[in-house]
Structure 1
Amino acid sequence: MLKDHAKLMQAIAVSGEVIGRKKLQKMIFIAKKLSFPFCEKFQFHFYGPYSEELTVRVEELCNMGFLEEVKEKKGGYFQYRYTLTEGGTEFLAENQPEIPRIQECFTDMNSQNARFLELVSTVLFFDNLPKEEVQEKVFTLKSKQRYTVEEVDSAYQYIAELKAKTEVSQ
């Protein structure tokens, strides 16, 4: 029971604090694509890969008192901060899933900005296509973000770095 919730809690715990709903969505999607054991289904949405299941799971964790969601007004929009509560930390201590290399990957992803993670997750969403087609999709679907060729190259490099981190122990 709550195994999938515990995996999400562990991801947030090792990150310390995740700032932004979009960022959390992208981090979980990227981790799933790197073969971390997340089960949420994702579809392509306005800001790249999005999971309704993940949104519901976060809401459930907040309602159970395991996750704290702080809503802050930031200019013209609201931003959300996620941290484990004391109850969440206690639950996780007794129900911690075994996920090798989660600390390294989530700490690294959490240090990136949401815009870059949106690009990385979009590239990974279309990873079955050749790089040129992925780049064209990024420029078309994400035209408002004005990503450059260099940024797309950086996304591919970052994906390779994350894959190298996960392969060390697997």
Structure 2
Amino acid sequence: MLKEHAKLMGVFAACGEITGRKKLQKMIYIAKKIAFPFQEKFEFHFYGPYSEELTLRVEELCNMEFLHEVREKKGGYYQYRYTLTEEGETFLRHAEVDMPYLKEIVTEMNDQSARFLELVSTVLYFDTLTRGEVAEKIFTLKRKQRYTEEEIKEAYTYIEQLKAESART
């Protein structure tokens, strides 16, 4: 059971801090799609791929005091920041999690905006469609985000970069 928790904790350990629940959801989804063995199931939701299982795991890690959550008021909404606790670091040292290159991939993703990761994860969610069909889906489903053709092109380039980085194993 805690093996999946440990994989998730490895992401927090690699990043130091992750700001935003949406960003975390997108990072794990993208990592899963490009070859890392995360087991959470994702469905398409308001902000792209979303996993209830992931939300529950994060909540469990907070309850076990392996993960520290800070809730901050930002304008009209709340933003959450996550860091691994000392107890979490101790547990992670004893857990057997072997995911080469995960640190490089997730730290790279953590440097991106949640908006861009939402686009990247949406492109990956519809990866069985043609690029034109994906763009059409994005322009329809993500109309309020006002993504451009150029941003969609950047998302595809970014996905290829992440896949190349993860293939170094």
**TM-score, normalised relative to structure 2:** 0.99
Q: Which residue of 2 aligns with 1:103?
A: 103
| CA 21–5 in structure 1, closer or farther in 2 if over 3 Å, else same | same
| TM-superposed deviation, 1:96 | 3.9
**Structure 1 stretches (4+) deviating beyond 2 angstroms?**
none
Q: Is contact 1:10-1:96 (8 Å) kept? A: no
Aligned counterparts of 1:168 and 1:132: Cα–Cα separation in 2: 30
Q: Which residue of 1 aligns with 2:22?
A: 22
Letter in 2 for 1:166: S
Aligned counterparts of 2:16 and 2:106: Cα–Cα separation in 1: 10
SS in 2 for 1:81: strand
Aligned counterparts of 1:142 and 1:83: Cα–Cα separation in 2: 30
| TM-superposed deviation, 1:12 | 1.1
| TM-superposed deviation, 1:14 | 0.2
Aligned counterparts of 2:96 and 2:77: Cα–Cα separation in 1: 35
Q: Which residue of 2 aligns with 1:65?
A: 65
Structure 1: runs of 5+ lacking an equivalent: none
Q: Which residue of 2 aligns with 1:136?
A: 136
Q: How does 1:71-90 map to 2 (within 5 A)?
A: 71-90=71-90
Kindly tell me the number of residue pairs found equivalent between the two proteins: 169
| TM-superposed deviation, 1:168 | 1.1
**TM-score, normalised relative to structure 1:** 0.98
Q: Which residue of 1 aligns with 2:9?
A: 9
Q: Which residue of 2 aligns with 1:121?
A: 121
Letter in 1 for 2:120: V
Q: Which residue of 1 aligns with 2:163?
A: 163
Aligned counterparts of 1:157 and 1:77: Cα–Cα separation in 2: 32
Letter in 2 for 1:137: K
| TM-superposed deviation, 1:53 | 0.3
Q: Which residue of 1 aligns with 2:93?
A: 93
Structure 2: runs of 5+ lacking an equivalent: none
| CA 160–74 in structure 1, closer or farther in 2 if over 3 Å, else same | same
| TM-superposed deviation, 1:138 | 0.5
Letter in 2 for 1:133: E
- Aligned residues: percent identity? 67
In the TM superposition, what whole-angstrom CA distance separates every residue of 1:99-147 from its partner, at most 9, and x where no partner exists?
0110110010000000000000000000010000000000000000000
Aligned counterparts of 2:153 and 2:87: Cα–Cα separation in 1: 42
Aligned counterparts of 2:140 and 2:96: Cα–Cα separation in 1: 41
| TM-superposed deviation, 1:35 | 1.1
Letter in 2 for 1:108: E
Aligned counterparts of 2:146 and 2:52: Cα–Cα separation in 1: 26
SS in 2 for 1:41: coil
